[in-house]
Structures are given as C-alpha cells and as structure tokens.
Amino acid sequence: MMRVRAADYNNIGVGRFPSFRSLSKTESIVIDRILLSRLGLKKKPDEPGVWHELEHALIHVETSNAREVEFSLDEVFRVAGVVPREMVCVGWREGDEVDVMQTRDLVTFFKHIWDPGWDDIDIFDGSASWVVRIGHDGFTSVLKSPGSLMMNAGET
C-alpha cells in the first residue's frame, strides 16, 4: 500500500517520498503474532476475526479527527501516552501489508499516506507494547499492553 502512496506522491513532482521498507508476508505474520501476544490478545494473525478482536479492545483517543486540517499524529501519540521509537510499522487492513518507516517521516507525510474514507491503519513500534489505529473515518484509538498500562498508572 505504501508503494502506491509513494508512486502517487513522486508523480506530482513536489519532492521525494521518504524511504520505507515493506515487510514480507512471513515477516508480517511474525510481527502480528508478537504484537497480539504482547497486547494480551488470543487469536493468531491469520485466524478470521483478529481485526475484529483488536477493534473491540481499542480505546478512543480524544484528539482532532484525522480528516481535519489541524490533525497531528504527534498529538495523538502524546494524548495516547505512547512514545514511538525511531522506526514504526504501519499495518494496512486492506491487503494485510506492513511497512516500516521512520516515525518522523510518518508524522510529516501522514496526509500523503493515510487516505480518508478508505484506509484503516495500525501504527506500532518494535516494542510491540502499543498500537494506535487511525480508522477510515478519521477517528483514532489506542491499545496498550497490560504492562505499559501499569507503568502509566504509576506516573504522576
């Protein structure tokens, strides 16, 4: 999916799309298994209903809608209480693809990556302790591992 976005962006002649790497199907399945396990979910990524199971576990993040001009992915991370590492994964519901890119590039180029009305994406990093979802409707939600919830509860 990211390849399509990169080609579209590069064709409009306003600069170069940032670098990214698309994971193989095998790599994507391994990453999904680790993420689901650390988030405390039971299904395997290749079982039917895994997206549905994750959907019911997510908690809405009170920020601006991703369709709005003032939307900021940095703000979503801050309000959700997650601090992404340097590299993040972008999981695409449509096509079951996972792409890896620098967090800063995702934040900067978000409006060129996420397609409102069409894309549902999950964003997570190598810690596999959280996932932020941007739905096709622009609403954002988060799920954090039980361990990270306990750490956040102790913060003042």
SS3 144: strand
User: What is the per-residue pLDDT across 12-47, written as a single tens digit (0 to 9) for each?
Assistant: 766 788 999 999 988 988 888 888 888 888 766 666
Domain assignment of residue 88, given as a range: 2-153
Domain count, the chain: 1
Q: What is the pLDDT of residues 47-95, one digit of tens each?
A: 655 666 777 889 999 999 999 999 999 999 999 999 999 999 998 876 5
Helices (H), the chain: 2-11, 25-38, 50-57, 73-80, 103-113, 146-153
